[in-house]
Amino acid sequence: MLRRFGAGVLGVGAGAAGIEAARFACFDKSEQHTLSTALTQFCLFDALRIGSWFARRRHDADCANFPEVQAELLRSRLAANRDTVYGREHNFQTIMGSNDVVDAYRSSHPLTRPDHYQSYVAQILAGDEAVLNAEAETMLAATSGTSGQRNILPYTPTMGRTFFSKGIIVIFDTLLQACPAAFGLQKTCKLAFEPVFEVSPGGLRIGPNSSGPREGKSFQRLLPLYSTPAAGYAIPNDEYAALYVHALFALRDRNLGIIEANFVSLPARLLRLIHRDGDALADDLAGGELGQAVANRLPPTTVSALNEALGGPQPQRAAEVRSAIGEGRHGLARRLWPKLRLFNANGTGAFATYAAKLRAAEGEGVPVISTLLAASEGLIGVSLSGGVNGNPPGPSVDGHATYCLVPGAMFFEFLPVVPAEDPVAHRDHVVGGGGASGGGGPGGGAGGGASAGSVDDGGSGGSGGGVSGGDSSRYDGTLL
């Protein structure tokens, strides 16, 4: 009896292993994968498929109970930060004890702008603790300042976990439905750069908080999925050299699957560089080492690591690259990488122009998929696919997207779009007039919600106001 049972278990196990082996064999694979890195990607993507299925359903359940989830989020943030300097000064203890915590918060805490938090941020810069967040900050995120004054925002580990669990995992489900073929065993050209940080008097780093090499071990674990080796992500203060290296290693792999960046302007720049510097890139591929023009800009140890990663001359691939570039700009990406699935980059708002130009020239025929609406202040919205009766419709191939607010990420307050000279009170307005404006202290860290209207620089505004501005005409996405 036991022998028959054991044989049955072994049979089922062997059958399951056979199915997995067949799945592994049928996927398109990167030419640069080893068996080990291909298996790593296979297992990671299977885990993400399962995780994203559950994450999407948690997100949908939160959306179905939006007011309750928002109230609980607000109460939990107030409770967590009630003993901070800011929490004591603004009576978080009293507010969180109210039966209607949202009404109590809105009644007692004003809408804020970045300057409201400057004195508190100054204390954090000096090294003071528990000023805006009870949880210790790991860095201070600096907005780019493209649409206004640069602002500095406290950043904690919880914010990073929220972005991953309620954003990245959810949009993996979106991408699976929008382009299932993208999740085989092809590599991704992830366009990220080594950031340059300042250091505060209190010892905290000040700089961008977008995903990239600064994430240390978590980023290193994903390197088998990327075409660029570790040394290519460690080039500081020279964006041209770094972009050239990304281009060179992307070109090595004829079966590249995805080009990924925060914003679609970067893939456009990558392809313009390839078109302009194609002869040099082809020479480097043919010779199997980085050309002197770029090598002279980098430390010798970096050059040595990159040359080792190139793995020797690739004259046949170099000839293919020359031929593809010789046919002109239009359709260049598809000629270089016949199985390129998509550009995973935000093409909404101010970046819609870049998306249109990319798809009309070098990126012709390759979808641009926008998945996240986020800023330095935190996660705002996610693009979804597979809703009831096609609603939400999912991201379109031209970069347009309908974003759904993430109820468990930040606390939102809704304001109508009005002329700047006509200020309005923040209470009792009907949802739907425009963006969401931050409510202050316990929202996305130091701040509150977000305004959908000003995401053109990937994060501007202040600690308390989410993304500044409320004119929803400034972005091409739609908020549900």
- pLDDT tens for each residue of the chain, 480 residues long: 555 545 554 555 555 566 667 777 777 778 888 888 888 888 988 999 999 999 999 999 999 999 999 999 999 999 999 999 999 999 999 999 999 999 999 999 988 888 899 999 999 999 999 999 999 999 999 887 655 678 899 999 999 899 999 999 999 999 888 888 888 889 999 999 988 889 999 999 998 887 666 566 777 888 889 999 999 999 988 999 999 999 999 999 999 999 999 999 999 999 999 999 999 999 999 999 999 999 999 999 999 999 999 999 999 999 999 999 999 999 999 999 999 999 999 999 889 999 999 999 999 999 999 999 988 888 999 998 755 455 556 788 888 888 999 999 999 988 878 766 655 544 444 333 333 333 333 333 333 333 332 222 233 222 222 222 222 222 233 344
Phi-psi region of 216 (alpha: psi -120 to 50; beta: other; left: phi over 0): left
In this structure, what DSSP letter does residue 144 have?
Answer: -
Among 348, 366, 384, the domain boundary falls at: 366
Count of the separate structural domains present in the chain? 2
Could you tell me if 378 and 453 lie in one domain? yes
- Are the C-beta atoms of residues 313 and 288 closer than 8 Å to each other? yes
CA distance 396 to 393: 8
Domain boundary among 366, 384, 409: 366
The token duo for 407 is 């109820």
Pairing of strands 152-155, 402-405: unpaired
Is the domain of 347 the same as that of 383? Answer: no
- Does 356 reside within a domain? yes
257 token code pair: 């699957």
Residues 6+ apart with CB under 8 A from 28: 181, 184, 185, 186, 255, 257, 339
Is 388 inside any structural domain?
Answer: yes
Whether the upstream peptide bond of residue 154 has omega within 30° of 0, thus cis, is: no
Q: Are residues 216 and 134 in the same domain?
A: no
Cα separation, 367 vs 397, in Å, equals: 4
DSSP state of 215: G
> How far is 367 from 178, CA to CA, in rounded Å?
10
Residue 393 and residue 473 in one domain: yes
Domain of residue 293 covers: 180-366
Is residue 226 domain-shared with residue 353, that is, in the same domain? yes
pTM of the predicted structure, to 2 decimals: 0.80
Tokens representing 279? 């002869």
Q: Which of 347, 366, 385 is the endpoint of a domain? A: 366
Does some domain include residue 2?
no
